Structure 1
Amino acid sequence: MVRRLDVTGSNGLRLAAWEFSDMPKSGPEAEPGDGPREGRPSAPANGVLLLHGLMGRAAHWADTARWLSGRYRAVGLDQRGHGRSERPTGGEGQDPYAREEFVADAEAAIEQLGLAPVALIGHSMGALTAWQLAAKRPDLVHALIICDMKAAALGEQSQREWEEWFTSWPVPFATLADVRRWFGEDDPALERPQPSRGDFFCEVMTEREDGWGPLFSRRQMLRVREAWVHDAHWDELARVVCPTLVVRGIDGELGRAEAQEMVRVLPRGIYAEVPEAGHLMHLDQPADWRRVVEPFLQAVLPADG
């Protein structure tokens, strides 16, 4: 099952978090996976907070969260401007999509939901949020998993390419099948078909009168990305003191040399690869992703609170 948990983020922003569980019924007749959890167990499980990437939502972590919930309390957060969380407007002189706002939101989720000591699992932008929080609040973070996110600056050219790519979207899409086909097969940015990419974008579309379009604002997504693409993030990475797994897909965006340098910079870094996977490795190869992540968590985060 999944249930919504309301979180008050930075500057009072309303955020949606989602707790995934597959807890058995009480009694001798219970089978694994039967029934919802009513309240918390007597000894609360340690928490895992899952942070999606740009344009994503907590639902993209559903499969991962469900197997995690067998040992931990697994919660996914819709980050600001994404999923069912509120879109910030910002006041005078305030950037509502600044990096520190995302970090403060995740910090609020951990504290308000009682997840600490938490393991943070972040994909892409969510990984950056995760390691910035781990550097800021080591008291809250017991372990960290960085999934396919660069520490090096991406630069202005990268931002221009993204702007051109957003402009190329043939919105509105007539059907969800068209969404899946364009993002998974027909997008000129693709070198080869990626079915999981089509599935990813189907999760972040909504039906309107004229067809299907994104839940998010593409203009706002560019603003979100603008906050990190021009800067390198090595110094913050070096301040992460908890055990940290740096995971890359063989065909992802994080190259092997940079990933290994990130592991070298981290005080307690470990390197791993998911074979035959791209940027969306947890969707591309979920079984291999689990084989990489699960042993790390079992080694560094006890199952019992």
Structure 2
Amino acid sequence: MVRRIDLTGADGVRLAAWEFADPPKGPGDDGAEPVQGVLLLHGLMGRAAHWADTARWLAEKYRPVALDQRGHGHSDKPAAGPYTREAYVADAAAAIEQLDLGPVALVGHSMGALTAWQLAAERPDLVRALVIGDMRASALGAASQREWESWFGTWPVPFATLADVRRWFGEDDPRVERPNPARGAFFAEVMCESPDGWRPVFSPRQMLAARETWVHDAHWDTLAQVRCPTLVVRGPDGELGRAEAQEMVRVLPHGRYAEVADAGHYLHYDQPEAWRAAVEPFLSEVAPTP
């Protein structure tokens, strides 16, 4: 069962969250300890549906909820924003509080991982454990932002069919070094049909605005402030290099490292079983079910 829940962001933005199973009950009757909540945060251009496979196995023991962050999925996409770091972090905190999930295990991918560790640093009362999926702590710089702006300009939108979406992002995209069906499937999830073809559910302009607020800065200071157990996960073909990942683990007061073999940036999509094998034992140890 998948249930949609409408939430309110810190500044009144309507947020859509998705619970992938009935909230499980803890042992006993009245006063039973609630089952551990898990909040799943997608990356830039992502959506809650990207966590469906992860949420299914999490639902065997936990209460997993995936959030469509502002500007993404079914959540509001206000023309004027804001699409700041503060707004994304405040939205995640509001979701935890309104859903009564905390202290939560936070699982984030890419930009969602940055939001997760910034929230863990600012609101340790809300976060019990943290999983960082392929997100760098170092600054990427202005050149990276210009490359992204140019990349959006290469998209042949509208796409005639979803098969064209999968083929372009998985094979023909100039950023693809070798065919990657998982990448094509990832982007097919964020397209919607319009009268002239298939277009992204998000605004590229808003995605660039969101990225602008973190791409120029390093985030080591907030990483060092995270006090809960934290797992840093990367794929060998992802954006987070091994040396930087291991330095992140060193900076974290309670950091650990895991690698998903044969995975790229979309590691939970590339290798879902290996992703589970990396993450599940960590959560079982640091965020046990009652």
Return the letter of the residue paired with 2:135. Answer: M
Return the letter of the residue paired with 1:19. Answer: E
C-alpha separation in 1, matches of 2:78 and 2:137 = 26
Alignment of 1:133 onto 2:133: no
Q: Give the secondary-structure state (helix, strand or coil) at the position aligned to 1:64.
A: helix
Q: Give the secondary-structure state (helix, strand or coil) at the position aligned to 2:17.
A: strand
Partner of 1:152: 138
How many residue pairs get aligned? The number is 285
C-alpha separation in 1, matches of 2:119 and 2:259 = 24
C-alpha separation in 1, matches of 2:251 and 2:78 = 34
Q: How does 1:14-33 map to 2 (within 5 A)?
A: 14-21=14-21
Shift in Å, 1:138 = 0.4
For normalisation by structure 2, the TM-score amounts to 0.96
C-alpha separation in 2, matches of 1:40 and 1:57 = 27
Can you list the C-alpha shifts for 1:14-65, whole angstroms capped at 9, x where unaligned? 00000012xxxxxxxxxxxxxxx38866643110000000000000000000
Question: Identity, % of aligned pairs?
Answer: 73
Of 46, 52, 57, which aligns to 2:47?
57
Of 156, 168, 171, which aligns to 1:185?
171
Can you list the C-alpha shifts for 1:69-97, whole angstroms capped at 9, x where unaligned? 1111000000000000001234xxxx601
C-alpha separation in 2, matches of 1:89 and 1:188 = 29
Return the letter of the residue paired with 2:266. Answer: L
C-alpha separation in 2, matches of 1:116 and 1:142 = 8
Q: Give the secondary-structure state (helix, strand or coil) at the position aligned to 2:139.
A: coil
C-alpha separation in 2, matches of 1:38 and 1:182 = 39
Partner of 2:253: 267
Partner of 2:88: 102
Q: Give the secondary-structure state (helix, strand or coil) at the position aligned to 1:246.
A: strand
Alignment of 1:80 onto 2:66: no
C-alpha separation in 2, matches of 1:99 and 1:88 = 15
C-alpha separation in 1, matches of 2:209 and 2:173 = 23
C-alpha separation in 2, matches of 1:172 and 1:204 = 13
Cα RMSD (Å): 1.1
Can you list the C-alpha shifts for 1:111-159, whole angstroms capped at 9, x where unaligned? 0001011000000000000000000000110000000000000000000
Q: How does 1:1-305 map to 2 (within 5 A)?
A: 1-21=1-21, 37=22, 43=32, 44-90=34-80, 96-304=82-290
Q: 1:18 to 1:218 in 2, by over 3 A?
A: same
C-alpha separation in 2, matches of 1:295 and 1:103 = 27
Return the letter of the residue paired with 1:65. Answer: A
C-alpha separation in 2, matches of 1:183 and 1:198 = 5
Return the letter of the residue paired with 2:234. Answer: R
Q: 1:120 to 1:39 in 2, by over 3 A?
A: closer
Give the gaps of 5 or more residues in structure 2: none
C-alpha separation in 2, matches of 1:175 and 1:89 = 28
Shift in Å, 1:269 = 0.2
Q: Give the secondary-structure state (helix, strand or coil) at the position aligned to 1:11.
A: coil
C-alpha separation in 1, matches of 2:181 and 2:23 = 37
For normalisation by structure 1, the TM-score amounts to 0.92
